[in-house]
Structure 1
Amino acid sequence: MTLTPHEADKILTDCFAPWVLDLGLTVAETGERHALLRLPWSGRLARDGGGLCGQAMMAAADTATVIAISAARGSYGPMTTVQQSMTFQRPVTGVDLLVDVQITKLGRRMAFADVALMPEGSDVAAAKASTVYALLS
């Protein structure tokens, strides 16, 4: 059973640190092996030159992967990041970022995902990530 976006938003508020909540992430979609989150543009997350900072993008990819895994499993359970690799391909300035997670393998103890970070209104990724999680329950 897949989580609804409303149920997934509740995971965000109940299970993440206050600084993650300060990013303002919201869940736009959930699916069987998929989640789409929105990172709203904020000048507070911009670096010198006005582009969205990589740290915020990495945190968004990491957080969105937890939501996608939870949606695929039907509920949240303890998990931890084992590996995250990210490539930054172009700057994001002045627009929301859509964080699209596809679960590529979901096992009993491990989960793997690919993440595309797309500026709203663009069909070209600003960044891509690959993540691996250990499932603790």
Structure 2
Amino acid sequence: MDSTEITQLLDRVLAPWVRALTLTPIKVDEESATLRLPFSGEWRHSGGMISGQVFMAAADTAMVVAITAALGGFKPMSTVSLNISFMRAVRKGDVLIKARVLRMGRNLVFGEVELFDEGGNMAVHATTTYALLE
């Protein structure tokens, strides 16, 4: 999938508030997806750190892109589980999101997502499970 196809996919399947994150595709292949979350002061909560909800939505979205690429096209899916660890506060700078499919079953897909701050330090780690609906 190229950047245009990914952007069109995100515009088509995401809720408007998730599209507002303006995730940008960097690299997508059959095994993984790398997206960039551009920094915005609007993502920070009162403590000055980017909110966990932003990271959760970004991780979930990156995994949808990785699964779509692995399947060779979008199929309806639903998040079954998203287990997330916030390992480092992020106060500024873009965040790089790397999602990869660990196992593709007939009905379930297992994945892993890592989010890195502008210094290349892992800030968030997530494991995911998705149900393929068709």
Instruction: Provide the TM-score with structure 2 as the length reference.
Output: 0.96
Residues 28-70 of structure 1, C-alpha deviation per residue, up to 9 Å, x if partnerless?
1101110011111111110122111000000000011000000
Cα separation, 2, equivalents of 1:70 and 1:4: 12
**1:81 corresponds to:** 79
Aligned equivalents of 2:10, 2:122: Cα separation in 1: 24
CA root-mean-square deviation? 0.9
SS at match of 1:9: helix
Q: In the TM superposition, what are the counterparts of 1:55-94 in structure 2 within 5 Å?
A: 55-94=53-92
- How big is the shift at 1:19? 0.5
CA distance in 1, matches of 2:54, 2:72: 27
TM-fit CA distance, 1:5:
2.7
Q: Which residue in the other structure is 1:53 paired with? A: 51
**In 1: Cα distance, 2:11 partner to 2:24 partner:** 10
Aligned residue in 2 for 1:31: 29
Amino acid at match of 2:115: L
| One-letter amino acid matched to 2:110 | F
Question: Whole-Å Cα distance in 2 between the matches of residues 17 and 52 of structure 1?
Answer: 20
The unaligned stretches of length 5 or more in structure 1 are none
Give the 3-state SS of the residue equivalent to 2:102 in structure 1.
strand
Local SS of the residue matching 1:52: coil
Structure 2, unmatched stretches of 5+, are: none
| Equivalences for residues 103-118 of structure 1 within 5 A | 103-118=101-116
Contact residue 8 and residue 71 of structure 1 kept, 8 A: no
2:131 corresponding residue in structure 1: 134
TM-score by length of 1: 0.94
